[in-house]
Amino acid sequence: MDHRLEDAILAEKNSILQNLQKKRTERRGRLSSDNMTKKKSGFSKSELIFKFLNMASVFMRIFNLICMMLLIGHWSGCLQFLVPMLQGFPSNSWVAINELQKQDHKRVFRKHYALCIRIGDRSPNAFPLRPATYLQDSFWLEQYSWALFKAMSHMLCIGYGRFPPQSLTDMWLTMLSMISGATCYALFLGHATNLIQSLDSSRRQYREKVKQVEEYMAYRKLPREMRQRITEYFEHRYQGKFFDEELILGELSEKLREDVINYNCRSLVASVPFFANADSNFVSDVVTKLRYEVFQPGDIIIKEGTIGSKMYFIQEGIVDIVMANGEVATSLSDGSYFGEICLLTNARRVASVRAETYCNLFSLSVDHFNAVLDQYPLMRRTMESVAAERLNKIGKNPNLVAHREEDLGSESKTINAVVNALAEQAAHASASEESVHSMELRTLPACLLPRPKSENNFASQELTREGRRIFHKSDTFHKDSYQ
């Protein structure tokens, strides 16, 4: 009876604990989604402002080109009227031809007027004759309008104006106007096309890249499922914009390149407690050597039994730690890192890592890993201590750590102080998290063994809906991993 009662009490406590953990997970998920929504809305507003300013700049440049073309047309129109004026408006000039046409118009008007009188349709006084007017004696605005119309007709190559040239002088002026106009028109179209294309050159390059990939897939006759995966990968990896980031960063100075990389990786540094609480120089040296990678759901990031050449930091996404028997030991989310054990020991992978969702990761190669940790031996000791505890937890300890606490000497106290201080800082992130955590500790069954001290310092676990453990960035310093 006593054993049955204890089992019932333990089952009830476990049920209460799981419900509390589930509520806490849901609350954290709502908070994180709200924060992401705010970030996306703010980013979209700033991006819209940037696009508006960029388009305004392009339109201003196009407006300048139009004004330049109108200025050249103005000069050509003035020249079209200046030359006949200096010649005294000869009868075969375009100005005189316009005057004769006015006289012809009046002659037609008189015939129509006489016809109206003959048929008795109108009174003769209904159509008083207007006095004769000449273009050279007209108001300057009328003169300028006719001259500008003739010049723009030549420049745009749409005709000679009202009449073709009748004199040698008009013919040379027309040819000069056509040549200058055609040149300006071609330059205008070229500049306008380049400016419009420069509005979103990265998106244009992305479309060209996707077109090349589609042609390659058709040439190789890849299956439809594989084509779909490749298309989705490009959409998630480049987000509709294509940049040669390595080329761009390679052209910058070392200090400026370091500042840009630190800014680009600011979300990673903020989400990974290992970076957030580490030395700024160490973080800067690490992030400048990281490489961005994207994995699709179901991709095997690390395969058990292979020789490790990289470690990974999770910026966004969830990965599963899969053991040899196919069992999912745990899941890692934003802010976790894995794969460092093989880099420390030169051993083979002890478990596989599979992407459960789209994962945005940053990888650190073994050469860069050793180069950075050689400069910061204290961080190497810290990572080795955590790696040893992880291997002890799953029962796979290849005696990797040569620097145990008894061998560290004077540095052991410093390491423990750093680890405990950082863990204490993460543990006191919020008052609500502390209360829930203390409630969990009071309700833990007596039959469960406590976790090692270093593990308690580095991770706090929760149960997902499937009953697996998942570790979150909000309450951890190092995320649990099995690599």
- 65 and 171 share one domain: yes
- 181 and 280 share one domain: no
pLDDT of residue 359: 92
Q: Is 59 part of a structural domain of the chain?
A: yes
pLDDT digits (tens, 9 = 90+) for 248-282: 888 899 889 888 988 888 878 777 777 777 788 88
Q: Is 27 part of a structural domain of the chain?
A: no
Q: Is 383 part of a structural domain of the chain?
A: yes
Domain with residue 353: its CATH number is 2.60.120.10
- 182 and 272 share one domain: no
Q: How many domains does the chain have?
A: 2
pLDDT of residue 441: 41
Q: Is 388 part of a structural domain of the chain?
A: yes
pLDDT of residue 84: 85
- 180 and 281 share one domain: no
pLDDT digits (tens, 9 = 90+) for 429-469: 444 444 444 444 444 343 333 333 333 333 333 334 344 44
Domain end position, chosen among 198, 215, 241: 198
- 194 and 304 share one domain: no
- 56 and 193 share one domain: yes
- 192 and 61 share one domain: yes
Domain with residue 95: its CATH number is 1.10.287
DSSP code for 331: E
- 271 and 192 share one domain: no
Phi, psi of 300 (to 5 degrees): -90, 110
HEC secondary structure over 357-377: CCEEEEEEEHHHHHHHHHHCH
Helix, strand, coil % over all residues of the chain, rounded to 5:
65, 10, 25
Closest C-alpha to 108, from 79, 116, 258: 116
Task: Decide: residue 137, CB within 10 A, 0-12 exposed, 13-18 middle, 19+ buried.
Answer: exposed
- Give the structural domain span for 186: 51-100+133-198
pLDDT of residue 373: 86
CA distance 102 to 131: 11
Domain end position, chosen among 167, 198, 229: 198
Q: Is 251 part of a structural domain of the chain?
A: no
CA distance 199 to 203: 9
Contact 233, 296 (CB under 8 A): yes
Q: Mean pLDDT of residues grouped by 10 in the chain (483 residues)?
A: 57 56 49 46 62 74 85 89 86 73 49 57 48 62 86 81 80 87 84 78 86 92 92 88 84 89 82 76 87 92 89 90 87 86 80 92 89 86 75 58 41 46 45 45 38 34 42 39 41
Range list of β-strands (E), 175-326: 291-295, 300-302, 310-316, 319-322
Domain end position, chosen among 352, 371, 401: 401
Q: Is 179 part of a structural domain of the chain?
A: yes
Q: Is 19 part of a structural domain of the chain?
A: no
- Give the number of residues written for the chain: 483
Q: Is 73 part of a structural domain of the chain?
A: yes
